[in-house]
Amino acid sequence: MNFRHRLKAMAPAALLQWAYPRTMRAFCIGTPKSGTTSIAGIFNVNFRADHEPHEREFIAKMREHFRGEVSDDQYVRWLQIRDKRFWLDMEANCFLGHRPDLLRRAFPEAKFLLTVRHPERWLDSVFDNNLNYPATLGPGEAGWHEVLLRPADFSYSAGDEPLRSVGLYPLAAYLTYWSRSNAEALDSSPTEDVLVVETEQIDGRRAQIADFLGIPLESIAQDHGRHNVTTQKHGALATLDPDYVEESIASLCGDELARPRIAEALSR
């Protein structure tokens, strides 16, 4: 933590608000590869916005909490101290999707954007991401895989053989995470405080996003294409039996896909 961050972490919130007025308090908490980088991109022109600041530190704390080494109260307090260090208007961060109920407790006044992709399109992207940045690469990757994907909870089935052969986790690990993450994000806050936005529709829904956050439309920059697009493709999804994928999505994600707010966002 640099000296400036230390001073801000110790300062009363009222002083920070006087020195660095916040226009809003908002988070984007979609899954990895759901458009969180794009959300940061359309806000960081006219607002203090960032995408996963100091991500390694966050992953380490998230992992400690997941393992029971940090209590809920300690985690909430850490979130609040960390928030003062950065003092952002908008933070887009998939790791904030770990225990969104505690994020809500830490910031009861906040608004949340939930970026979503259809599970099949999301699988294609997250498979590429996991192959390009495997858990063996370092503690950061290993940490978020352990907490979010939770591969230790799942066993490979016959249909997962193509995934196992290239070092990916069972299909159920990914789809269970997709379902759990979106369910927890929606269940942790009142309906009026969460806006669901489909990844490909971020730019087209700028007006709705601005209205939701109570800011002028012109303050949100127009996107110029998707951000953080994976360029090294592996085609792992195409190696799976399509019927196995379809049945797994229906079984593990069906309830969330049927939620009116997710169904409406994905149908646009």
Number of domains present in the structure of the chain: 1
Weakest mean pLDDT among 104-113, 173-182, 228-237, 243-252:
228-237
Half-sphere exposure of 107 (CA within 13 A, CB side): 25
Does residue 228 carry a pLDDT above 70?
no
CATH of the domain at 167: 3.40.50
Q: Is 33 within a domain?
A: yes
pLDDT at residue number 79: 97
Mark out the alpha helices in the chain (DSSP H runs).
3-10, 13-19, 36-43, 55-66, 72-86, 100-106, 119-132, 139-144, 161-165, 171-187, 206-213, 242-257, 260-266
pLDDT at residue number 7: 59
Name the more confident of 102 and 8. Answer: 102
Weakest mean pLDDT among 82-86, 146-150, 158-162:
82-86
Confidence of residue 21 (pLDDT cuts 50, 70, 90): confident
- Which residue, 244, 233, 236, 251, is CA-closest to 163? 236
Beta bridge partners of 116: 198
Mean pLDDT of all residues belonging to the chain: 92
Does residue 14 carry a pLDDT above 70?
no
Check residue 131 and give left, alpha or beta (phi > 0: left; psi -120 to 50: alpha): alpha
> Stretch 161-186: mean pLDDT, rounded?
97
Q: What percent of the chain has pLDDT over 90?
A: 85
Question: With contact defined as beta carbons under 8 Å apart, do 126 and 175 qualify?
Answer: no
The residues, any chain, with a CB within 8 Å of residue 250's CB and separated by 6 or more, are: none
pLDDT at residue number 232: 78
> Stretch 246-261: mean pLDDT, rounded?
97
Does residue 223 carry a pLDDT above 80?
no
Weakest mean pLDDT among 1-10, 77-86, 137-146:
1-10
Q: Is 167 within a domain?
A: yes
Q: Which helix (H) or strand (E) holds 111?
A: strand 111-116
Helices 119-132 and 171-187: crossing angle in degrees, nearest 10, is 120
pLDDT at residue number 222: 81
Does residue 142 carry a pLDDT above 80?
yes
Pull the structure tokens for residue 201: 């529709």
Q: Is 229 within a domain?
A: no
User: Can you tell me the distance from the alpha carbon of 5 to that of 86, in angstroms, rounded to the nearest whole number?
Assistant: 7
Q: Is 228 within a domain?
A: no
Does residue 5 carry a pLDDT above 60?
no
The residues, any chain, with a CB within 8 Å of residue 33's CB and separated by 6 or more, are: 117, 122, 125, 126, 129, 228, 230
Q: What percent of the chain has pLDDT over 70?
A: 90
> Stretch 136-163: mean pLDDT, rounded?
96
For 118, list phi and psi in degrees, rounded to 5.
-60, 140
User: Can you tell me the distance from the alpha carbon of 255 to that of 167, in angstroms, rounded to the nearest whole number?
Assistant: 29
* CB environment 96-122: b (16+ within 10 A), e (fewer): bbbbbebbbbbbeebbbbbbbbbbebb
Q: Is 180 within a domain?
A: yes
Beta bridge partners of 114: 196
pLDDT at residue number 140: 92
pLDDT tens digit sequence for 195-213: 999 999 999 999 999 999 9
| Structural domain span for residue 62 | 3-223+234-266
pLDDT at residue number 225: 45
